[in-house]
Amino acid sequence: MEQKIVSKINQTSWNQSVYKAWINRYGTPEEYAKQLSQYPTKAVSHYLKFMGEVKGKKVANLLGSKGNKAVSLSLLGASVSVFDISEENKRYALELAKQANTKINYIVTDVLDIPEECKLTDCDFVLLEIGVLHYFVDLTPLFKVVYDFLKPNGKLILRDYHPYVAKTMKVVEGEFKRDGNYFENNVVDEDVAYTILLSEKERSLLPKVKIRRWTLGEIVTSISKSGLNVEYLEEEQGIRWAFPPNAPEGIEEKVPGLFTLVARKE
């Protein structure tokens, strides 16, 4: 399936009830902004381990969703631009930034079709948050965008669900068990990520998204082929929230729920 078709379908899904979903989860932008302003490092603490001091740094947050990472980094002194496909995400993010008394630049666009006047070329960091790679049917164009955005010695910081869990562990009849093919490469239908934040009636009205889950090897290879040098890969242990609530107790100590990868542009 072509990326443009997939992106169009996913854009429709990400523009229905998203603003309400974020309010259900985080509160109004005013309420959430108070939390971020009081503890600006909390939402980005994991990323700051690899970024260091961000004051004065230029950051591109691709598929930055509701903007909490972008607002947090802005509060810490970074210049942040978000590129995302959802107008509803933009609405929440800009209201969040306003209420936090800071500014972010938010461009609604397909990240593979960014207008020339909006493209960046000298970023210190490109941030890819959790749960975004599966929206691409080919990773090569995405990491080409990342490469072009970064300045020499700039870094990509990618954090996502670990492919082993995403591809092989599923809830089957109320139980969390291994029930998948790690090497499957089909584009499949899936509930949009914020579905669980809405009522049953609202969930029934949401269209599915199209996703393609990637193996860790495919991800690392695609990044390397883009010209970026992979410097760090962590398979994260002890992350309970990366698993469904009904996953066996203690599984997060035995199976990596997330991974973090850092790559540098020479």
* 187 pLDDT tier (thresholds 50, 70, 90): very high
pLDDT of residue 74: 98
Give me the number of domains the chain comprises: 1
| Residue 229: partners with Cβ closer than 8 Å, 6 or more residues away | 263, 264, 265, 266
3-state secondary structure of 34: helix
Q: Average pLDDT in the 241-255 region?
A: 89
Q: What are 176's two structure tokens? A: 């969390």
User: Could you tell me which of 62, 212, 210 has the C-alpha nearest to residue 142?
Assistant: 62
pLDDT of residue 139: 98
Are β-strands 150-161 and 258-264 bridged in parallel, bridged antiparallel, or unpaired?
antiparallel
Averaged confidence pLDDT in the chain: 95
pLDDT tens digit sequence for 189-211:
999 999 999 999 999 889 999 99
* 99 pLDDT tier (thresholds 50, 70, 90): very high
CATH code, domain carrying 148: 3.40.50.150
| Residue 257: partners with Cβ closer than 8 Å, 6 or more residues away | 161, 162, 165, 236, 239, 240, 241, 242, 243
Q: Per-residue pLDDT for 175 more than 80?
A: no
Any idea which residue has 């579905």 for tokens? 195
Q: Is the pTM of this model over 0.85?
A: yes
Angle formed by the axes of helices 29-38 and 87-99, nearest 10° = 50
Q: Per-residue pLDDT for 173 more than 90?
A: no
Q: Per-residue pLDDT for 172 more than 90?
A: no
Any idea which residue has 């929230």 for tokens? 241
Q: Which residues on neighbouring strands pair with residue 261, listed in sequence order?
A: 158, 233
Q: What are phi and psi of 212, to 5 degrees?
A: -135, 110
Domain containing residue 86: 3-264
